[in-house]
Amino acid sequence: MKNKLLIIGASGHGKVVADIAIKMNKWQSIAFLDDDKGIKSSMGLEVIGTSDDVFTHIDEYEIFVGIGNNATRQRIHEMLETVGASIPVLIHPNAVIGEQVEIGFGTVVMAGVVINCCTSIGKGCIINTGSSVDHDNKIEDFVHISPGAHLAGTVKVGKGSWLGIGSVVSNNVNITSGCKVGAGSVVVKDISESGVYLGIPAKKENN
């Protein structure tokens, strides 16, 4: 393990990521990269360059993508994997993780999250503040479970899907890849076609 951490993205999501990294107390120094050259520091941590500079830091730093957009996070994460970067998992000390839970690298688990037993979470995911992911879920790579979303048991969420703030997914439901589930929406049946799903019960938006 390297004793320095570099977070790509110094705005809202990146700041929460940095906050978790500070609380984990694993790295002697933490810095950011951000493509906005006007940002010199964030959270009291230095911005030491733009994302193009990442290659010069790979030997010295562990690297974490602190970008909320699923597609952008996936693109940068996959590039980092290709060049052999060390990518950690970040778990807030006040998250509760059950037995036999697997969490992929590049995933952040935020404060107040509960992940129950026998669930697998892919790489590059965001399990956001106060959400819960119950037993035997399978969350694929680059998914974002927004703050306060709740997934019952044996839910599957496909690659790159985004469950909005306060959304709910009933037990035994499969949501395919590339979906957006709106804030506060409740998914009670399988979603097998990518798209935006809204409301209670969640229905496909038709535009």
Ligand X SMILES: CC(C)(COP(=O)(O)OP(=O)(O)OC[C@H]1O[C@@H](n2cnc3c(N)ncnc32)[C@H](O)[C@@H]1OP(=O)(O)O)[C@@H](O)C(=O)NCCC(=O)NCCS
Per CB under 6 A, residues contacting ligand X are 128, 146-147, 164-165, 180, 182-185, 196, 198-199
For the CB of residue 177, give the shortest distance to ligand X in the complex, in Å.
Answer: 16
Token pair in block for residue 101:
């839970």
User: Closer to ligand X at the Cβ: 114 or 183?
Assistant: 183
User: Closer to ligand X at the Cβ: 40 or 189?
Assistant: 189
| Closest chain position to ligand X (CB) | 182
Q: How far apart are CA 6 and CA 27, in angstroms?
A: 10
For the CB of residue 113, give the shortest distance to ligand X in the complex, in Å.
Answer: 13
For the CB of residue 199, give the shortest distance to ligand X in the complex, in Å.
Answer: 5
User: Closer to ligand X at the Cβ: 147 or 158?
Assistant: 147
Going from the C-alpha of 84 to that of each of 31, 59, 141, the distances in angstroms are 19, 9, 18
| Catalytic residue selected from 92, 135, 144, 150 | 135
For 44-79, b where at least 16 C-beta lie within 10 A, e where not — what string? Answer: ebebbbeeeebeebbeebbbbbbbbebeebbebbee
Q: Which residues pair with 169 in a beta bridge?
A: 151, 187
User: Among this protein's residues, is 135 annotated catalytic?
Assistant: yes
Q: Which residues are catalytic?
A: 135
